[in-house]
């Protein structure tokens, strides 16, 4: 399934920058960065739980926020892209 | 059943593959041109001479992603194998069978029964779908001969005899192969199999399809813990994935041959997709190879009901399903190896 993950990590407090970096790195392990703090991850339910668990270890619930949008298996008709930063389809043809 | 993941094809020659976190990163002159999380991948095919970092090779081996290097023309160069995984007991059982001609025969027979049966049904399907465009009586005749052949194979008493019957079946099948090409007949014809190098368009495509299929079956066998290099029908030879070639026999016709024929008949490829080298070898141009791989990917995603498991799976998982069944037989959980019988 496709899960869109967005986050806001507050960088006002001293550990914020570190948390931001860790969150972004972790999300990148699981999916594609489509905008600055937006990731699209094609994962199964186990991988999603792993990712969630790891993210919860990093963030500070008082100041940061995380949002998960589950778009299911038939996500291809649900996503529309306009403008630059074109990405590719993880389940389509991968030719480089 | 497991989900079939995607394959990444690297067709630009001057790139380098590296690992970053859990991603494969494709680099071209120091800049990243692509990045894909490894958990979305089943296999990586690198065509041409693109290199890969040892860290990436390790990561692929660990996660059971087959990383294969091929020449630009699709000939096999190398693949990355990690620590031998799976079950020693299973692998030892496999070696014991391979050492014994009589035990090998029992399994090898089933590979060939699968192959001949499937080829017979390819022909039967042609007579049903295109009765007016082929030599109907010839097809029916060959099909009858193949049925007789199946009984002979079933009763074969040693491996040499089995190879003989297989050869007979191949001659029969090749005799009508050319007639299955219904379109672009002046550019695509089949007069017989030739390879290293392939000398005509059809053989060039067949060779390419067989290489891809052999890699898929080898990866499937390794995934279930069998040794892809120790076969029952094909003899051991250094660097030859004998068991993968064995397992592939039953899929050659229904998967690779039909795929190549459909590319021609649907006019997805045409004569401009090939060129002839000075020595007569025929190769596909880069664009054609891309078309071929795209169609191959589509074919792998197509769903089919597995005749033995009774489950709907994608074509791309068929080698994997057969590898599981073979492992179950070797382990003793199944009385015989059930070949993939297609109709």
Cβ–Cβ contact A96 with B under 8 A: yes
Q: Which residues of chain A have pLDDT under 50?
A: none
The pLDDT value recorded for residue B235 is 77
Interface of B with A in 34-73 (CB under 8 A): 34-37, 39-40
Could you tell me whether strands B31-37 and B41-47 are parallel, antiparallel, or unpaired per DSSP bridges? unpaired
- Among residues B193, B195, B237, which one has the least CA distance to residue B75? B195
Does residue B176 surpass a pLDDT of 90? Answer: no
Cβ–Cβ contact B10 with A under 8 A: yes
B310-340 pLDDT, tens digit per residue, is: 888 888 888 888 988 898 898 888 888 999 9
The pLDDT value recorded for residue B221 is 85
Q: What is the pTM of this model?
A: 0.74
Highest mean pLDDT: which of A35-39, B231-235, B298-302? Answer: A35-39
Contacts of B7 in chain A (CB under 8 A): 94
Closest Cα in chain A, distance from residue B251 (Å): 23
Highest mean pLDDT: which of B70-74, B108-112, B177-181? Answer: B108-112
Cβ–Cβ contact A3 with B under 8 A: no
Contacts of B22 in chain A (CB under 8 A): 28-30
The pLDDT value recorded for residue A68 is 92
Residues in chain A, overall count: 96
Lowest mean pLDDT segment, chosen from A40-54, B164-178, B230-244: B230-244
The pLDDT value recorded for residue B32 is 83
CB nearest A95 (choices: B3, B35, B290) = B290
B85-130 pLDDT, tens digit per residue, is: 667 888 888 888 888 888 888 888 899 999 999 988 988 888 888 8
DSSP states along B113-127: HHHHHHHHHHHHHHH
Could you tell me whether strands A94-95 and B6-10 are parallel, antiparallel, or unpaired per DSSP bridges? parallel
Q: Is B195 left (phi over 0), alpha (psi -120 to 50) or beta?
A: beta
Angle at B201 between CA B199 and CA B206, to 5 degrees: 90
Radius of gyration over every alpha carbon of chain A, rounded to an integer in angstroms: 14
More confident site: A96 or B172: B172
| Average pLDDT of the residues in B139-155 | 85
Closest Cα in chain B, distance from residue A60 (Å): 23
For testing contact with chain A, the best of B4, B37, B292 (most A CBs within 10 A): B37
Q: For residues A43 and B145, what is the distance between their CA atoms, to the nearest angstrom?
A: 50
**How confident is residue B231, by pLDDT bands cut at 50, 70 and 90?**
confident
* pLDDT > 90: percent of chain B: 6
The pLDDT value recorded for residue B84 is 63
B31-68 pLDDT, tens digit per residue, is: 888 888 888 888 888 887 788 899 999 998 888 888 88
| Average pLDDT of the residues in B260-268 | 88
The pLDDT value recorded for residue B1 is 67
The pLDDT value recorded for residue B280 is 79
Closest Cα in chain B, distance from residue A30 (Å): 6
Interface of A with B in 22-81 (CB under 8 A): 25, 28-32, 41-44, 47
Does residue B259 surpass a pLDDT of 90? Answer: yes
- DSSP letter for B182, please: -
In sequence order, what are the beta bridge partners of B15? none
SS3 B242: helix
Q: For residues B200 and B260, what is the distance between their CA atoms, to the nearest angstrom?
A: 13
- Quickly count: other Cβ atoms within 10 Å of residue B247's Cβ: 33
Give the residue on B whose Cα is nearest the Cα of A25: B21
Cβ–Cβ contact B2 with A under 8 A: no
Would you say the ipTM is above 0.85?
no
């Amino acid at each position: 399934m496709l899960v869109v993950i967005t986050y806001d990590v507050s960088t006002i407090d001293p550990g914020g920058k570190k948390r931001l970096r860790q969150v972004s790195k972790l999300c990148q392990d699981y999916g594609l960065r489509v905008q600055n703090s937006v990731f699209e991850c094609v994962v199964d339910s186990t991988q999603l739980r792993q990712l969630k668990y790891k993210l919860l270890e990093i963030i500070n619930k008082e100041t940061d926020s995380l949002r998960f949008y589950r778009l299911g298996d038939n996500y291809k008709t649900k996503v529309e892209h306009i403008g630059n930063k074109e990405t590719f389809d993880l389940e389509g043809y991968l030719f480089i | 059943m497991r989900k079939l993941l995607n394959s990444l094809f690297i067709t630009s020659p001057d790139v380098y593959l590296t690992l970053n976190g859990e991603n494969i990163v494709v680099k071209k002159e120091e800049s990243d041109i692509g990045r894909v999380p490894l958990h979305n991948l089943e296999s990586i095919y690198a065509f041409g001479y693109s290199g890969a970092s040892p860290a990436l090779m390790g990561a692929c081996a660990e996660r059971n992603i087959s990383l294969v290097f091929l020449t630009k023309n699709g000939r096999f160069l190398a693949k990355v194998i990690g620590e031998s995984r799976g079950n020693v007991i299973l692998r030892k059982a496999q070696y014991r069978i391979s050492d014994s001609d009589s035990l090998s025969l029992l399994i090898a027979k089933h590979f060939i029964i699968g192959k001949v049966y499937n080829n017979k049904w390819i022909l039967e399907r042609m007579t049903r779908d295109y009765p007016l465009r082929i030599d109907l009586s010839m097809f029916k005749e060959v099909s009858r001969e193949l049925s007789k052949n199946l009984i002979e194979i079933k009763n074969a008493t040693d491996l040499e005899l089995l190879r003989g019957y297989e050869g007979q079946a191949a001659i029969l099948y090749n005799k009508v192969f050319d007639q299955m090409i219904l379109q672009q007949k002046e550019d695509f014809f089949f007069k017989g199999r030739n390879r290293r190098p392939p000398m005509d368009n059809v053989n060039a495509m067949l060779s390419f399809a067989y290489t891809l299929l052999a890699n898929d079956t080898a990866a499937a066998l390794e995934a279930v813990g069998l040794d892809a290099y120790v076969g029952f029908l094909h003899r051991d030879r250094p660097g030859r994935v004998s068991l993968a070639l064995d397992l592939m026999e039953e899929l050659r016709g229904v998967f690779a041959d039909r795929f190549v024929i459909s590319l021609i008949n649907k006019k997805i490829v045409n004569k401009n997709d090939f060129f002839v080298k000075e020595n007569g070898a025929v190769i596909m141009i880069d664009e054609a190879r891309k078309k071929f791989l795209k169609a191959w990917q589509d074919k792998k995603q197509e769903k089919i009901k597995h005749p033995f498991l009774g489950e709907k799976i994608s074509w791309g998982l068929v080698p994997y399903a057969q590898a599981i069944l073979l492992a179950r037989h070797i382990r003793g959980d199944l009385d015989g190896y059930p070949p993939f019988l297609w109709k």
